[in-house]
Amino acid sequence: MGGKLIVFEGVEGCGKTTQIQQLREWLQSVYSQAAPIPVVASHEPGGTELGLKLRSLLLGDGTGKPIHDSAELLLFAADRAQHVEEVLKPQLALGAIVLCDRYTDSTVAYQGYGRGLSLPLIDRLNSIATGGLESDLTIWLDVDVEVSLVRTRGRGVADRIEQETLAFHRRVQQGYTQLAQTHPKRIVRVDASLSEADVQQQIQAILAQRLAQWNEGHRVLPFSESGA
Ligand code: T5A
């Protein structure tokens, strides 16, 4: 089948961390029974040692000097460039299924739609940072920002971006809606307003279908035409 990059996207607190953890356990149990395919989880920003330093600059509590929008964009791009080279490409080359919390669409939604920076410029930076590596599948956890912000604010201190206005987060949400319309094959919407278990069920159904497609001709793997 070859390595696969599966990305999770959405507004703050849409449930990516929760769902990735559960999906990873499910995939590991499925693959441990059939074929030893590594399933790894990573995230942006902060999936590397350098990225962790960039993450703390980007997502502090917002009390320092303001970060200019274009500086913010370049810091996210730097984090991605390092992550692609240090983690994503090597893991995919080993044949792993990589579950990644945020990737290029986050920059389009947050810096493009949220901050209002140039979308063609962001596409170009994304292409430089990724060296052309695109996700094989992007799961968009779609939930109203009013609901998701209540979830994140229940956790205590909000980071610099969580502290943005409701209007900002609504523009980000609009960005994801637009991205899903533009890339209907790559981006699959999941209703993330449901319970954690129901959201996970939707995701597993999507993955089972995609893995069956990807495994065509590889009969030893689960999710081949003979079923999981
Ligand atoms: N960013 C990132 C950019 O601006 N540009 C970029 O290019 C990139 C890559 C990342 C920030 O950086 C920005 C976007 C972000 O602002 P982060 O800390 O990684 O910062 O923030 P998030 O990615 O938003 O991660 P969160 O942890 O805040 O949210 P998750 O992972 O989506 O949600 P999760 O699973 O932690 O759940 C949040 C809470 O909701 C509950 C959970 O138990 C938890 O308490 N929950 C549910 N409750 C009810 N029903 C459900 N279905 C639930 N699912 C989860």
Q: Residue 45: is the preceding peptide bond cis (ω within 30°)?
A: yes
In CATH, 4-226 is 3.40.50.300: yes
Q: Read off the amino acid at residue 25.
A: E
Task: Report the nearest atom of ligand 1 relative to the CA of 58.
Answer: 12
> Atom 50 of ligand 1 has which residue's CA nearest to it?
195
Tell me the whole-structure pTM to 2 decimals: 0.95
The confidence score (pLDDT) of residue 223 equals 66
- Domain-by-domain residue ranges, the chain? 4-226
Question: DSSP state, 84?
Answer: I
* Kind and range of the H or E run holding 220: none
The confidence score (pLDDT) of residue 33 equals 64
pLDDT in tens, 112-141: 999 999 999 999 999 999 999 999 999 999
Task: Report the nearest atom of ligand 1 relative to the CA of 110.
Answer: 4
pLDDT in tens, 97-115: 999 999 999 999 999 999 9
> Atom 38 of ligand 1 has which residue's CA nearest to it?
13
The confidence score (pLDDT) of residue 134 equals 98
> Atom 26 of ligand 1 has which residue's CA nearest to it?
13
Q: What percent of the chain has pLDDT over 90?
A: 79
| CA dist list (Å): 131 to 42, 44, 83, 123, 189 | 18, 16, 11, 12, 26
Q: Which residues contact 175 (CB under 8 A, 6 or more apart)?
A: 108, 109, 110, 112, 113, 114
For ligand 1, whether the C-beta of 191 sits within 6 Å is no
Is the CB of residue 79 less than 8 Å from the CB of residue 59?
Answer: no
The confidence score (pLDDT) of residue 152 equals 87
Q: How close is the Cα of 222 to the center of ligand 1, in Å?
A: 30
The confidence score (pLDDT) of residue 1 equals 76
